[in-house]
Amino acid sequence: MKLHELKIGTFVAPVPLIQGGMSIRVSTADLAIPVAECGGIGTIGGSGLPVKELQADIRKAKEATDGIIAVNIMFAMKGFHELLIGSIEAGVDMIITGAGFSRDVFKIGKEHNVPIVSIVSSVNFARLAERLGAAAIVVEAAEAGGHLGTDVLLRDLFPDIRKAITKVPLIAAGGITTGAEMAEIMMGEYGADGVQIASRFVLSDECSVSQEFKETYLKAQQKDIINVESPVGMTGRAIRTKFVERMERGEDVSTEKCKFKCLKKCSYKYCINDRLMASCTGDVDNGLVFCGANAWKMDSILPVKEIFRQFVEDAEAAYQKPEARNQKTEDRHQKLGKRSETKTPEDR
């Protein structure tokens, strides 16, 4: 069985895979282009960038590929509206947004005929996004990297949202590192229309972060991947670095002056823009390295084309095993039966 296409608005991705938009300057056009060329949706991380720089990166991507190029922008950014309009003016195909919720973004998307993809972590926000006009919804669970909106694991969170959302594509995100896992979450017991994967693409030849950043991923063990407090006001998942250890010891890591004024709400505990950029450019000791919960499982840097080949082949191979598929469906039905006996607070 072949993987099915992923249709969002008028755009059709031959491979139902969205590359996560990692900021700051982790997911750039250099990564989004080969992802789009492989048939997925290539995403530029737009949060924290000057508008002109983001527009230049979008134009670079659009000139290099006929594939689908998206931009991910956190609603928590103070310049969210400017980045949104700037992206549309530069010709981006779709906008992916999370870390907060905007009603206005759907009106803007409709006015400019640009699909809006909402990242959510609860049934209530998924329903709201569908009702307001989201072209697709990404369910981002506790295993995701960066800023987290829930502590519920993907396989526990996704089924309830799947039951609630019927009109638009529903995409699973958080901790997916192999094609077999991709197939599992897209099979009948979960029924995802696609997946969003970020951390695996950090360890690609085309990802433009420093070699030191990539080495931090390669050296990370499971115990090194922890939750940290972010000045955004949300928990974040990152790899323990010397900077993180300083925070754990209670040292003052705050900045003397806010240079960027990038967030609508900031605790000023430290400058997240500075710390993310430090790692991106090679100063990992003084930086923050976001990653997904299963980044420790990855042990190789590969071309994007090879990452796609492995995901597609392994996913399609998993589809060929009816005995495994039937067993998973039976297990899932049993879980759903138990869950229906006790409603969650959101269902009450």
Query: 144 with 235, same domain?
Result: no
**3-state DSSP call for residue 229?**
strand
- Give residue 100's pLDDT band: very low, low, confident or very high (50, 70, 90): confident
Query: 328 with 197, same domain?
Result: yes
Query: 127 with 268, same domain?
Result: no
Backbone torsions φ then ψ of 137, nearest 5 degrees: -130, 130
Would 229 be classed as within a structural domain?
A: yes
CATH of the domain at 21: 3.20.20.70
Query: 150 with 77, same domain?
Result: yes
Query: 154 with 41, same domain?
Result: yes
- Give residue 348's pLDDT band: very low, low, confident or very high (50, 70, 90): very low
Would 36 be classed as within a structural domain?
A: yes
Residue type, 61: A
- Give residue 263's pLDDT band: very low, low, confident or very high (50, 70, 90): low
State how many domains the chain has. 2
Query: 43 with 98, same domain?
Result: yes
Query: 310 with 291, same domain?
Result: no
Instruction: Answer with the one of 265, 280, 297 that is the final residue of a domain.
Output: 297
Question: pLDDT digits over 312-342, tens only?
Answer: 999 999 987 754 444 444 444 444 344 333 3
Would 1 be classed as within a structural domain?
A: no
Query: 197 with 180, same domain?
Result: yes
Mean pLDDT of 280-292: 96
How big is the CA angle at 75 (ends 70 and 78), to the nearest 5 degrees? 115
Query: 107 with 248, same domain?
Result: no
Domain around 39? 6-206+301-341
CB 243 within 8 A of CB 275: yes
Query: 185 with 59, same domain?
Result: yes
% of the chain with per-residue pLDDT over 90 = 77
C-alpha span between 240 and 237 (Å, rounded): 9
Question: pLDDT digits over 151-197, tens only?
Answer: 999 999 999 999 999 999 999 999 999 999 999 999 878 999 999 99
Query: 50 with 181, same domain?
Result: yes
Would 79 be classed as within a structural domain?
A: yes
- Supply the pLDDT for residue 337: 40
> Considering the chain, what is the average pLDDT of its residues?
90
Question: pLDDT digits over 42-83, tens only?
Answer: 999 999 899 999 999 999 999 999 999 999 998 877 889 999
Query: 132 with 198, same domain?
Result: yes
Would 180 be classed as within a structural domain?
A: yes
Residue 336: left if φ>0, alpha if ψ -120 to 50, beta else—which one? alpha
> Above 90 in pLDDT, residue 206?
yes
> DSSP string of 180-223?
HHHHHHHSTTT--SEEEE-HHHHTBSS--S-HHHHHHHHH--GG
- Supply the pLDDT for residue 338: 40
Would 346 be classed as within a structural domain?
A: no
Backbone torsions φ then ψ of 132, nearest 5 degrees: -80, -15
- Supply the pLDDT for residue 77: 77
C-alpha span between 335 and 163 (Å, rounded): 14
Cis peptide before 176 (omega within 30 of 0): no
